[in-house]
Structure 1
Amino acid sequence: MAATTVRPITGMLRRGLMLDLGLSLGIGFVMANAYWYGYHMPRTNARDAYYKKLEEERAARIGA
């Protein structure tokens, strides 16, 4: 029975881990920015504009 020599697999785990971490962090960063600037900030600006308009109307009614 002949013993077969299998070369050790070196560096593949580290390379795969770096690729997975890099892609995960990159995609996470892109998605976080898409949410922040595509949804959160426009909604926040719309809310602030609405309350500013209400405050201006209230101030005009009171005459202050």
Structure 2
Amino acid sequence: MESAIMKPNIVIFFVDDMGYGDISCLNPRGKIPTPNLDRFAAEGMVFTDAHATSSVCTPSRY
């Protein structure tokens, strides 16, 4: 019997106008608590070096 292949669970949050320090797992002194995102970050991977491909946020809205 062959063993089952484990597929990873991948969740990508693609947001508009959210800064690096806007979620509490990256900025504990932030104004808005984000306990659910904090739990995702604690149990998974966090990528902290992303860049926009445009100087304005409009392309991310389409």
TM-score tier by shorter-chain length is under 0.3
Structure showing greater relative contact order (alpha-carbon pairs closer than 8 Å, 6 or more residues apart): 2
| Structure that is richer in helix per residue | 1
Q: TM-score, normalising length from structure 2? A: 0.20
Q: TM-score, normalising length from structure 1? A: 0.20
